[in-house]
Amino acid sequence: MNVAAHAFERIPDQPLGQRPSVADLKLRVASVTSQIKARAHTTEKSGRVPAENMLSLREIGYFDIVKPRAFGGYEYDFDVLVDLNIDLAKACASTAWVGGLLAAHQWLIASFSEQAQRDVWDIDPDALACGSYAPATKAVAAKGGYTLSGRWSFASGCDNAQWSLCAALLPSRTDADRPTPAFMLVPASDYLIDDTWNVVGLSGTGSKTLQLKDVFVPEHRVLTFFETTSGKTPGALLYPENPGFSIPMLCNIPSCLASVAVGTAAGALEDYLEVTSKRVTRGAVAGSNNRMAEFPTIQLRVAEAAASIDAAREILLRDLRDRAITVRANKPVSIEDRIVSRRGQAFAVSLAIRASEALNASTGGQGLDLANPVQRAWRDANAVGRHISMNWDAVGTMYGQFALGLAPQGQY
C-alpha cells in the first residue's frame, strides 16, 4: 500500500477551501493582540504564558498554521507563520516565543514516523510539544526503543505543552561509530518540571527544566538530527504532495525564534513613536518645553530603528520563501542554502537588537520603569540574541568560513 495513502486513511485531509486565508489569519491575530499586550507585564512577572493567551491563540487556529492538513492543520509554508509571529511579538515577546515555537513544533512533529504523529494527535488533536534541543544525556538501548534519564533545560512553554522533544545521544552501534544526536518524543506524564527560570529577558516564556527518570521511548518516536537537518525524514515521505515538509529544520524553526526579536523591536518602535511624538522636555541639559520629536538625534534613532526592523523582516521572509521555492522545484536544499538561512536568521536578530537599543537609549528616566514596553522589548530582543542559534558571532563566523572555502563549523 502507498505509504501516503495509508497515513491518511482514517483522517481525511482538510479541504483547502476550509482553511482561512493568510489575510484572515492576519485579522485573527490582530483581534487578540490588544488583550495579549495588556497582559505582557503580568506575563513577564508570572514567568509563564498565561492560559488566557494560549486559549486565544488556539481559538484563532495559531497552532494549525504549519500543521499537516491530515491532522486538522492548515499546512501553510513557514513564511506565513513567521510573518504572523512578528505581529504577535509586537504585543508580547514571551507569548510569541512560546506560541511561535509550539506552532513550529507541529511541523517538526510531522517529520516523525506516522505512528509517532498518531501518538501525539490521535487521542488529543490539539496536543502541543515543547522542546529542549541540546542533547543533554545519552539514551540507553532497550527492547523496542530507548530509556532516558536526566535533565533537559530551556524547555520553553513546557507548562503549556502535552509533549516534549527531548534531544539525546543514541548509543553507538559499533565501537567505530559516534553517538547519534536525536529528538525523542516524550509525553508530559513522563517528566517533572523544575522551575529554574529566573531571567531578565523573555521572562514569561517559562523555559524551565524537565526531569526524566528511566523513561521508555519507543523507537518510532525517535528522529535523528541528520534526518531533520537534511530534510530526509520519515514524515516527509508521508506528505509527497507538499515538499515543504522536506525543508531542513534549521532553515525553518530558528526563523520563528528570530521573528520574536524582529516583532518585539517593531512593537517598541510603535510604542516609542506614540510617546515621543507628544513628549516635551522638562529642563536640565535639554531645556524645558522642547518637543523631543524636533531633536535630530531622536529623528535619526527612529530612522535607524525603522530601517533595521524592515530589513530584518525582509531577510527572514525572503530566505524562507526561497527555500520553499527550491523544494517545490524538486531541487535539493544545498549546504549553501542552509548556511544562508542561518546567516539571515542571526543577522535579523542583530538588526532587531540594534533597533531596540537605538530606541531604549533615548527613553530617559521614564524608560527605566519595568512596565515600560520599550525597555522590556530591549531586554527581550537581547535575550533572543543569547540563544545559540541566534548568536551573530558564531553564525556569522560559520558563514564566513563557508564563503572563504573553509569547512563551516556550526549548526546548519
- Express each pLDDT in 207-253 by its tens digit: 999 999 999 999 999 999 999 999 999 999 999 999 999 999 999 99
At 5, the pLDDT band (50, 70, 90 cuts) reads very low
Lowest mean pLDDT among 22-26, 85-89, 287-291, 389-393: 287-291
Higher pLDDT, 47 or 176: 47
C-alpha cell at 365: 528616566
Asked whether residue 13 falls in the same domain as residue 92, the answer is yes
Torsion of CA 21, 27, 29, 32, to 10 degrees: -140
Looking at the structure, tell me whether residues 9 and 107 fall in a common domain: yes
Closest by Cα among 68, 74, 75, 171 to 120: 68
Residue 1 has pLDDT above 60, yes or no: no
Domain containing residue 397: CATH number = 1.20.140.10
Q: Is residue 230 part of a domain?
A: no
**Shared-domain flag, residues 175 and 261:** no
Q: What is the pLDDT of residues 249-268, one digit of tens each?
A: 999 999 999 999 999 999 99
- Are 40 and 271 in contact, with CB atoms under 8 Å apart? no
Q: Tell me, what amino acid is at 176?
A: A
Confidence tier at 4 by pLDDT (50, 70, 90): very low
* DSSP secondary structure of 263-285: HHHHHHHHHHHHHHTT-EEESGG
pLDDT of residue 17: 56
Q: How confident is the model at residue 283 (pLDDT cuts 50, 70, 90)?
A: low
352 CB neighbour count, 10 Å cutoff: 35
Residue 242 lies in a domain: no
pLDDT tens by residue, 288-314: 677 878 889 999 999 999 999 999 999
- Together in a domain, 366 and 261: yes
Question: Do 261 and 292 belong to one domain?
Answer: yes
Residue that finishes a domain, picked among 127, 160, 183: 127
- pTM of the predicted structure, to 2 decimals: 0.92
Asked if the model's pLDDT at residue 284 lies above 80, the reply is: no
Domain match, 274 and 328 both: yes
One domain, residues 284 and 394: yes
Q: Tell me, what CATH number does 56's domain have?
A: 1.10.540.10
What is the band of 332 on the pLDDT scale with cuts at 50, 70, 90?
very high
**In the prediction, which pLDDT does 176 show?**
65
Same domain, 147 and 103: no
C-alpha cell at 86: 512578528
* Residue 197 maps to a domain: yes
Residue span of the structural domain in which 399 resides: 247-403
Name the domain boundary from 84, 109, 127.
127
Q: Grid coordinates standing for 168?
A: 539525546
Say how far apart CA 254 and CA 238 lie, in whole Å: 24
Query: Is the domain of 123 the same as that of 133?
Result: no
- Cβ atoms 105, 279 nearer than 8 A: no
pLDDT at 12 over 70: no
Sign of the torsion formed by the C-alpha atoms of 229, 234, 240 and 245: negative
pLDDT in the model for residue 13: 56
Cell of 99: 506560541
Query: Do residue 150 and residue 122 come from a single domain?
Result: no
Q: Rounded to whole angstroms, how far apart are CA atoms 338 and 327?
A: 13
Question: Is residue 409 one of the residues assigned to a domain?
Answer: no
Number of domains in the chain: 3
CA–CA distance, 318 with 171 (Å, rounded to integer):
39
Distance CA 27, CA 213 (A): 44
Q: What is the CATH number of the domain that holds 182?
A: 2.40.110.10
pLDDT value of residue 348: 98
Whether 365 shows a pLDDT value over 80: the answer reads: no
Residue 59 lies in a domain: yes
Q: What single-letter amino acid sits at 342?
A: R
